[in-house]
Amino acid sequence: MTAAVEIKDVAFAWRGRTKFSLAVPAFSVAAGERVFLLGESGSGKSTLLSLICGINLPDEGEVVVAGARLVGMKPAARDTFRAENIGVIFQMFNLLPYASPLENILLPLSFAPVRRRRVKDDTAEALRLTTALGLPEELVLQADTTELSIGQQQRVAAARALIGRPKLIVADEPTSSLDASAQEAFLSLLIGQAAEADASLIMVSHDRRLATQFDRQIDLADIALVTRGGS
C-alpha cells in the first residue's frame, strides 16, 4: 500500500534577517496511520507541515505524498494536488468570517473536482460530518460564522478538512484554544472521522498529553535538525 507521506534527505531554509533551516533525513506516515508530532514553539513544526502540504518545496531531498512526488510539480499542479488530497486544520482555523458555516465547509469542493465527486449531496455530507463532530444542524445552516464559539469554529474547520475524503488530514495545533476536557473530546471525534474516511492524520502540538489517542508519537527533535543564525 502506498505510504501517505515519505520524506527523504530533505533540507529547507528560510532566508532573511534571521536564518532558519530544517533538515529531515527520513520521515514517513503509513496509509491510515495517526501520527502525533510533538515540538515546542519554534521547533520547525509549521515548516515541516508546509513541506508536506507542498506550500513550500525543499532545497534538497524528496517529499512524496500519496505516491506523488511534490518536487518537480509546477505551482498550479501542487495547488490542485493539495486541494484534492490534503485536508488542513489550521491553528487559527482560517474560516471566512462572513460566510456561513456550511459555506466554509463546502469551500474546498470548489477547488477539488475529484473530492467533490465523492460527495453525492454536498449539504447532506456537511451535516453528517458536523453532527458526528457534535455541532447542531441549526448552527451550520443558519449562523454567521462570527457568531460561533471557538469550539464550534473548530468543528467547522475539521468538517472542512474532512469533506470529500482527502487521503491526508494535517492539523496544526488545532486544540490550543480549548480546555483539557474539550481537547480530548474533539480529538476523539476527529480521529474517528478520519478513520471513517480512511485518511491518514498528522497532528502537531506542544502538548504531550494529547498523544494518547494516536498510533505513534514522534518528537520533532528526533527526526529533524533545526539551525538558526544571523544572515
CB contact at 8 A, 140 and 127 = yes
CB contact at 8 A, 202 and 29 = yes
Please state which architecture CATH assigns to domain 5-230. Answer: 3-Layer(aba) Sandwich (3.40)
Look at the pTM and tell me if it is higher than 0.85: yes
Find all residues with CB under 8 Å of 179, minimum gap 6, and list them.
none
Beta strand segments in the chain, E: 5-14, 18-29, 34-38, 60-65, 68-69, 86-89, 168-172, 200-205, 216-219, 225-230
Distance in angstroms (rounded) separating the CA atoms of residues 191 and 6: 21
Q: How is residue 145 written as a grid cell? A: 460564522
pLDDT given at position 228: 84
Residue 209 DSSP class: G
Answer yes or no: is pLDDT of 211 > 90: yes
Give pLDDT tens digits for 31-73: 999 999 998 877 888 899 999 999 999 999 999 999 999 999 9
Answer yes or no: is pLDDT of 172 > 80: yes
User: How far does Cα 140 stand from its chain's mean position?
Assistant: 21
CB contact at 8 A, 37 and 202 = yes
Report which of 37, 66, 39, 41 is spatially closest to residue 54, judged by C-alpha positions: 66
Give pLDDT tens digits for 107-156: 999 999 999 999 999 999 999 999 999 899 999 998 889 899 988 999 99
Domain boundaries, the chain: 5-230
Name residue, grid cell 453528517. 128
Distance in angstroms (rounded) separating the CA atoms of residues 229 and 231: 7
Report which of 192, 134, 199, 195 is spatially closest to residue 166, judged by C-alpha positions: 199
Answer yes or no: is pLDDT of 17 > 70: no
Q: What is the enclosing helix (H) or strand (E) of 156? A: helix 150-162
